Each structure stands twice: as structure tokens, then as C-alpha cells.
Amino acid sequence: MRGNITKPKDIARFQRFPDIGNLELLHASYHRQTFSPHFHEGHAIGVIEKGCLGFDYRGEKVTAGAGDINMADPGEVHNGFALSEEGWQYRMFYLKPGQLDGISNECRDRSQPMPFFKKGKVRDPVFSEKIRTLHQDFEDPLITRLEKESRFFSIMAGFIIKHAVQRAVPKAPGSEKNRVRGIKDYIQDHYDTDVSLDELSWTAGISRYYLLRVFERETGLTPHTYLNLVRVKRARELMEQGVTIIDAAHGTGFFDQSHLNRVFKKFYGITPGQFYEKKEKYGKNRT
């Protein structure tokens, strides 16, 4: 009677991020889906989470299982079908034409041909987990645009450097204390806005890739970590002045109070509510 077992329904969640190069994300669990031969205008890069995906690519029959990175270069025809009873579940990034080219060129600091990946599957557990986690975090509205952009850019740059056929040779970061100081000043002046990586790059007059490298080298922090640190410090100052937690959250660029709670605890080990209680208790004792 096993032949009468009904396959589970396919589930797919699609998102587009206009502020991050119009990047498209797909998180899907397919049991019945069969993709007809097609191609993408830009690069497609993703990770298989469960099951097994089969596809024909550049004359080869590719099998991608859990943990594998699957990809397609622009214009390369491929299909897609399940190779197991459980189907397959994956997370995919669909980049716009030229988006990965731009990242690749910034790695090299000069114009080069489009990054080319010979195979449709790569086995790299470290990058697989980075890509999967990043995709998952894109769905979290409490993670800042700057963090999503920065991590996406760094991961894609690292993947190109390691796996593209025309491997990029990254420019070594030098001492950029003045530029880093300018970036820090910009973040301190605009912490309550949706700061973007492009804004910081334009302010510093350097590429996004180089910016991420020199900032962390000079400060020991990523730009988005520094942004969160500036925000929680300012929120703490406001609460010390008697501003409510919710108003402090809204006044310092956080999505809501729970967003402030999460970030505040990462830096201080306590919640804003606990901080507020201690502040009030201290104030009463002094009077």
C-alpha cells in the first residue's frame, strides 16, 4: 500500500530585498516540484538543508545532498528534481546581473571577467553553514540592514576567492586610521538611521570589501557591531536620564523594545528592564 502514500505539500517562502541590490531569497521544501530546464540572469547560490536534489548542469548529472552548496552561473541552463522520497529542502540566494561581478572586482580592486564556477555543487562545510545561517538571519527583522549587507558581502567575497575559477587576489589592507575614524564619526552621527554599507563606502572613499577589512583590523569590530554598540550606549544614556525603555529603543534606531533587549543583553549581560530597576533603586537610595 506504500504506493498510495500522498506526498507532503510543497512549501516555499520567497522574499526580495530592494535595499540590498534587490536580492531575492527562496526557502523551500519540495516534494512534488520538478523544475523544467531554465537559467537565471544572475548567479544563484544556495545550500541544501535536507533531502537530495538532482539537476543536469554543463553536461553532468549533479547530486546535491544535505550540506552541499548548489549554484548556477548566469545563463547556464539547468533543471531540478528530487532524488529521494523526502524531496529536498534548501535556501537559495538569487543575485541580480552583475551583483557578484561587482563584489569580485572590489576584491581585486580592478575590473575582471565575471566570476565563474566550474561545478554546480561545492562541498565546503564552513561556507555552507555561513550561507545557511546568513539566509536564515535575513528573515529576522531585528538584524540591521548593515549587518545583513556586510555579512553577505564578506561571505560572497570569501567564496569567490576560494572557489571561483578566476580566483581573486585580495588587496592587503594597510593603515587607514583616518578613514576608519571618519566611518566611526559617520556612524555616531547617524546611529538612529538605517545605515548602509554603501553609505559608509562613499563616506570613506574606499570599496566595500576594503572597508570591511580595514575597519575590523583597526577596531577589532565589524561596522555593524560598532553600530549596535553606539546604539546601546546611547539608549543607556537616555534611560539614565529617565527616558522610558520603549522611547529609548525608538530614539536610537532599534526596531522595537525586544530588539533593544536582545542587543543590550549581548553587550551588558542584563536587560534594559534590569538596568532600569537598578537605576531607580540606586536613585531612591541616594534620596
Parts of the chain belonging to CATH 2.60.120.280 = 9-163
pLDDT at 195 over 90: yes
pLDDT digits (tens, 9 = 90+) for 72-109: 999 999 999 999 889 999 999 999 998 998 888 887 76
Grid-cell match 534606531, residue found = 253
Q: What is the dihedral of CA 50, 54, 60, 64, to 10 degrees?
A: 0
pLDDT digits (tens, 9 = 90+) for 177-188: 889 999 999 999
**What class, spelled out in words, does domain 172-272 have in CATH?**
mainly alpha
Specify the CATH architecture of the domain 9-163: Sandwich (2.60)
C-alpha–C-alpha distance, residues 176 and 182, integer Å: 10
C-alpha–C-alpha distance, residues 71 and 121, integer Å: 6
Q: What is the mean pLDDT of residues 44-64?
A: 95
